[in-house]
Amino acid sequence: MARKGSSTIQEELYPTPDETAREDIDDARLLDLDAEKESPFLRAQKRVPARRSPLPKKTAARIIWGFVVIVAAALAAIAVSAFYRYGEHSWRFRLNSSEDIEMSGLTNVTHAQIMEVMGGDIGRNIFYIPLDQRQKQLEQIPWVETASVMRFTPNRIRIQIHERTPVAFARVGSKIMLVDAGGVLMELSTRKRYSFPVVIGMSSGEPLSTRTPRMKIYNQLIAALDSTGARYSQDLSEVDLSDPEDVKVLTNDPDGAVLVHLGSANYLDRFKIYVTHLREWRQQFQKLESVDLRYDRQIIVNPDLPGAARQPAVTLAAARAAISAGVKAAVLVERAPSKPSAQHVVVSRPAPAKRWQKIIHSAKKSAAASHGKRKPAVSNAALSSKWTPAAAPKKPSPAILKGPSR
């Protein structure tokens, strides 16, 4: 019995190979049975019913986003409308006085001229002030070239003015005014003095399209005379632009003003001839009133006759204002020669001494004859016809005043 019991315990503790193989087979069967239960091919799976939306997901998302946008836009419109009503009726956005209007760039434009345009907007809501219309009205002021009008909350208006730059005085009727490079006329400045010549040949009734080309000629003349740095324009007291083909300048000479004809081109070269020979001509001729330099080979001395059309007399008040603004007093004096002067032609190139003596002797003889007779006869080397004050042409005839060939 003891042996049997020991063997049984040994079998339980150490199983035999046959039993081990049998247990493996049983475990394999169990695994196979489990696999059959889990295999999807043995039986059909039970389908769970799914709920589907009538719209695709993308379409539904777009609808949701569109609704959000519409709601946001509606809220923004409500906010803007509320703010607009507040700005429309609130006292905070009213222009209370002229102190709420800021102005800059004013030199010759006065505060009163600005308030003539903006004064009607005092007490008005700044959102109802037409800025574009006010800008155009401000630019109608002669001194204003450009203007900008800006609105600043809650109740401020800012005005920026860019004034015109005058380039000359202009004699218009019985007044002296300032004129810019484009031909716009302006009242004289009381805050600044200028050193400009006076332009004549303009009228207040003519359109700007007529004055603009004339001022273009004036600008070309001044630029040419000052191109070399000699500043010849400072010697001019008057510029006559009535004839674009014959620009005439009146020099401010201490020995007497001289009217110089410069034509329509070569202003600098012709004016240099005048400067070079001025003293010589004063010695040759008893009275030097005008010089015509439009011709290449000859110079005509005293070609202008008295009795020409004169400018209207400047009033005393206008003369005082013009002098205080910088106009030379000699320009305001009416020039009316008492006796006609003889016309002389001088060869522009150098001539022998005997020839110059002949010309000078002839000029003196004709000048003496002009004092004793009303119709003097002028005879010299370059001029052989008679000259009559009443019938003398404004421009010399090429057949009569032809210089010697070079």
Q: Do the beta carbons of residue 185 and residue 203 sit within 8 Å?
A: no
Which residue do the tokens 């324009």 mark? 233
Q: How far apart are CA 188 and CA 326, in angstroms?
A: 10
Q: How far apart are CA 46 and CA 256, in angstroms?
A: 128
pLDDT score of 267: 94
What is residue 204's predicted lDDT score, i.e. its pLDDT?
Answer: 75
Residues recorded for the chain: 406
Largest CA distance in the chain: 194
**Better-predicted residue by pLDDT, 391 or 293:** 293
What is residue 210's DSSP assignment?
Answer: H
Which of these, 331, 340, 333, 330, lies nearest to 307 by C-alpha position? 340
Mean pLDDT of the chain: 76
Tell whether the model's pLDDT for residue 337 goes beyond 60. no
pLDDT at 159: 96
Examine the pLDDT at 321 and tell me if it is beyond 60. yes
CA 68 to CA 63: how far, in whole Å? 9
Cα–Cα dist 116/138, whole Å: 9
Compute the distance between CA of residue 361 and CA of residue 372 in angstroms, rounded to an integer: 17
Lowest mean pLDDT of 15-24, 229-238, 371-380, name the range.
371-380
Could you say which DSSP state residue 395 is in?
Answer: S
Place of tokens 């060939």: 405
Number of H helices, E strands in the chain: 9, 13
Beta-bridged to residue 236, according to DSSP, are: 251
pLDDT, position 353: 41
pLDDT at 39: 54
Q: Is a pLDDT exceeding 70 seen at residue 162?
A: yes
Q: Which range is most confident: 92-101, 337-346, 372-381?
A: 92-101
The pLDDT, as a whole number, for residue 343 is 57
The CA distance from 314 to 297, in Å, is 39
pLDDT tens, 356-388?
444 444 444 444 444 444 333 333 333 333 333
User: Tens digits of per-residue pLDDT, 269-309?
Assistant: 999 999 999 999 998 888 888 999 998 888 888 887 544 44
The sheet with strand 144-152 has its strands ordered as 101-104, 156-163, 144-152
Work out whether strand 156-163 and strand 185-186 pair parallel, antiparallel, or are unpaired.
unpaired
Split at pLDDT 50, 70, 90, the class of 338 is very low
Residue 393 to residue 396: CA distance in whole angstroms: 6
Q: What is this structure's pTM?
A: 0.64
- Rounded to a whole number of angstroms, the distance between the first and last alpha carbons of the chain is 172
Cβ neighbours for 377, distance < 8 A, ≥ 6 positions apart? 366, 369, 386, 387
Note the pLDDT of residue 52: 64
Of the listed ranges 42-51, 145-154, 211-220, 337-346, the least confidently predicted one is 337-346
- The pLDDT score that the predictor gives to residue 384 is 31
The pLDDT tens digits of the residues spanning 47-94 come to 656 566 676 778 878 888 888 899 999 989 888 877 777 666 677 888
305, 370 contact by CB (below 8 A): no
